[in-house]
Amino acid sequence: MPSISEHYDVVIIGAGLGGLECGYILTKKGYDVCILERHHKPGGCLQSYRRGGRLFDTGFHYVGGLDKGQPLHTLFDYFGLMNLDWHRLDTNGFDEVILSDKSYLFHNGYDEFAQQLSESFPHQKENLKRYVSLLKKVGDGILDGFRPKESEELTRESLFSRSAWNFLEETVSDPTLRNVLSGTSLKMDLAKDSLPLYIFAQINSSFIRSAWRLKGGGDTIASSLTESIQKMGGTVICNAEVVELIESKGLIIEAALKGGERIAADRFISDIHPATTISLLKNSQNIRAIYRKRMSALHNTTGTFTVSISLLPGKRQYLNRNQFIYDCRDVWEPSTDGIIDRAMVSWMIPEHGDTAECVDLLTPLPWKEVERWSGTKPMKRGEEYEEYKSRKAEELIGFVSRHGILSPDDIQSVHTSTPLSWENYTASPEGASYGIVKDWKDPLRTILTPKTPVPNLFLTGQNLNLHGILGVSMTSFITCSTLTGERIFL
């Protein structure tokens, strides 16, 4: 373990995207920052890994709104991430929704997006205009959403209190088109009774603006942020698991690590799940039982089953778009009885040439399917678990192959992960892919702020406001502004 300063201005627990970005912001502002990561490398959901020489991502697949002048470009330019090897997806089809064997391409640009889908749904042309009009308003105000003006009729707060499903049902009368418009939303937890309109609109809007992949995977983001933090004088320590936050006179004074080390700081930021964070406060005069109960009672989003495939050389051309496949009547209704009826297909940019080398297949997987192996360690979960994963992988590969996208004959090797993997590597309870469930009916309880009952403890990451690369990046500024008491922005 690197040498540890006796005292820091800020200690950050967790080196996921939110923790690294907060570390970058505060170090750049002159704070003495130490980031503690329990694993051997930083990144959290950004981590990449190699199997058989091939590169795979974990939770990172593509981003939206990265073109010059767009929200993520503005944020990533601040973080020094625009010099990475970004590749734009096809503007005339960055996403493809396959519904009942019919294909629908999503075009970049609001007008182009609406016009293209109008060709398949001419009777919905005006409805599509209304749909993209709302998305455009949200997109135009994304970076202003954290500075709401009372005079504005359309605010981020008001859209968090509206139902995404109700908006879609009221705006689009054709149920097939509703499925198509929602078809790329495997990157969020579609739920008719809870998903806020703001989350649905913000995420879909950013990708309609522009869509990008990153050669080298999510690790390059984590590595770049880590290197920048260290160059500015910050500290990032891996293999440093925080097991307790020590409180004295109503303030946290130290983070106790597994192994006995203690690290002192004036203020602390947690990039891990709020319930896990509160569990680190074993003896706190600030945390009442009702608050602990509230944090532990928050519902988590669905996890993901991923099949990462290494392809035989020359078998498939790289596809510069994502594909979303459905064999169900309503994409807003979850799969039942473990049946695979939906999948996302994401092709990794080849490291050599233009022939596809790796592809990821992803499908939602409820925690209940793997709960019986909870508490076990990776690679030591037993034969029954390995058989379960193999069977599930065969089903997912078969589902995708039936739609002609992939053939078992193309496959060189297969690697799988379940919500148990996410829980182990990201400390996300139940392996939730998108953090805590945000509920439009109860935004005050489910949409969290950085403040906690402990005055010098703050939260950040996807569990607060928004998940995804853009959402977490915006939230990092909110956390740092709250901690410093000054507005920090670009």
User: In whole numbers, what is the pLDDT of the chain averaged over residues?
Assistant: 91
| Residue 155 banded pLDDT, cuts 50, 70, 90 | low
Q: Which of 26-35, 179-188, 429-438 has the highest mean pLDDT?
A: 26-35
pTM: 0.93
Can you tell me the distance from the alpha carbon of 253 to that of 456, in angstroms, rounded to the nearest whole number? 9
pLDDT for residue 153 is more than 50: no
Q: Which of 245, 216, 215, 221 has its CA nearest to residue 15?
A: 221
Q: What is the pLDDT of residue 487?
A: 81
CATH of the domain at 260: 3.50.50.60
Which secondary-structure segment (H or E) carries 13?
A: strand 7-13
Q: What is the DSSP letter of 39?
A: S
Q: Is residue 203 part of a domain?
A: no
Q: Is residue 477 part of a domain?
A: yes
Q: Is residue 336 part of a domain?
A: no
Q: Is residue 323 part of a domain?
A: no
Question: Residues near 407 by Cβ (< 8 Å), separated by ≥ 6?
Answer: 315, 401
Q: Which of 40-44, 148-152, 302-306 has the highest mean pLDDT?
A: 302-306
pLDDT for residue 402 is more than 70: yes
- 65-84 in b/e form (b: 16+ CB < 10 A) is bbbeebbbbbbbebbebeee
Q: What is the pLDDT of residue 150?
A: 39
Which secondary-structure segment (H or E) carries 157?
A: helix 156-160
| Residue 423 banded pLDDT, cuts 50, 70, 90 | confident
Domain holding 16, by residue range, is 7-57+217-299+437-484
pLDDT for residue 295 is more than 90: no
What does each C-alpha distance from 319 to 93, 206, 350, 409, 465 come to in angstroms? 11, 21, 10, 18, 33
Q: What is the mean pLDDT of residues 158-173?
A: 94
Which secondary-structure segment (H or E) carries 404?
A: none
Q: Lowest-confidence range among 172-181, 300-309, 320-329, 333-342?
A: 333-342
pLDDT for residue 166 is more than 80: yes
Instruction: Report the length, in residues, of the chain.
Output: 490
Q: What is the mean pLDDT of residues 409-419?
A: 93
Q: Is residue 475 part of a domain?
A: yes
pLDDT for residue 308 is more than 90: yes
> 154: exposed, middle or buried (C-beta count within 10 Å: 0-12, 13-18, 19+)?
exposed
- Asked if residues 490 and 78 have their Cβ atoms less than 8 Å apart, the reply is yes
Q: Which of 124, 111, 71, 102 has its CA nearest to residue 183?
A: 102
Can you tell me the distance from the alpha carbon of 55 to that of 53, in angstroms, rounded to the nearest whole number? 7
| Residue 264 banded pLDDT, cuts 50, 70, 90 | very high
Structure tokens at 220: 């390059």
| Residue 87 banded pLDDT, cuts 50, 70, 90 | very high
Q: Is residue 101 part of a domain?
A: no
Q: Is residue 222 part of a domain?
A: yes
Helix residue spans in 378-467 (DSSP H)? 383-401, 419-426, 443-446
Can you tell me the distance from the alpha carbon of 91 to that of 412, in angstroms, rounded to the nearest whole number? 31
| Residue 152 banded pLDDT, cuts 50, 70, 90 | very low
Enumerate long-range contacts of 275-278, CB under 8 Å, 24 or more apart. 275/429, 276/427, 276/429, 277/13, 277/452, 277/457, 277/459, 278/452
- Asked if residues 131 and 181 have their Cβ atoms less than 8 Å apart, the reply is yes
Task: Please report how the helices 110-120 and 175-182 are oriented relative to each other, as an axis angle in degrees rounded to 10.
Answer: 140
Question: Residues near 266 by Cβ (< 8 Å), separated by ≥ 6?
Answer: 7, 8, 9, 10, 456
In three-state secondary structure terms, 449 is coil
Q: What is the pLDDT of residue 5?
A: 53
Can you tell me the distance from the alpha carbon of 420 to that of 156, in angstroms, rounded to the nearest whole number? 33
Q: What is the mean pLDDT of residues 6-21?
A: 95
Q: Is residue 274 part of a domain?
A: yes
**Number of independent structural domains in the chain:** 1
Q: What is the mean pLDDT of residues 454-474?
A: 91
**Neighbour tally for 296: CB within 10 Å:** 13
> Phi first, then psi: what are they for 164, rounded to 5°?
-65, -45
| Residue 215 banded pLDDT, cuts 50, 70, 90 | very high
Which secondary-structure segment (H or E) carries 242?
A: strand 242-248
Structure tokens at 428: 């996300």
Q: What is the mean pLDDT of residues 101-126?
A: 96
Q: What is the mean pLDDT of residues 251-267?
A: 95
In the block, tokens 């790796």 appear at 358
Structure tokens at 82: 């625009």
Can you tell me the distance from the alpha carbon of 460 to that of 451, in angstroms, rounded to the nearest whole number? 9
- Asked if residues 90 and 322 have their Cβ atoms less than 8 Å apart, the reply is no
Can you tell me the distance from the alpha carbon of 315 to that of 292, in angstroms, rounded to the nearest whole number? 53
Q: What is the mean pLDDT of residues 455-475?
A: 91
pLDDT in tens, 64-83: 999 999 999 999 999 999 99
| Residue 490 banded pLDDT, cuts 50, 70, 90 | low
| Residue 4 banded pLDDT, cuts 50, 70, 90 | low
Q: Lowest-confidence range among 48-57, 252-261, 471-480?
A: 48-57
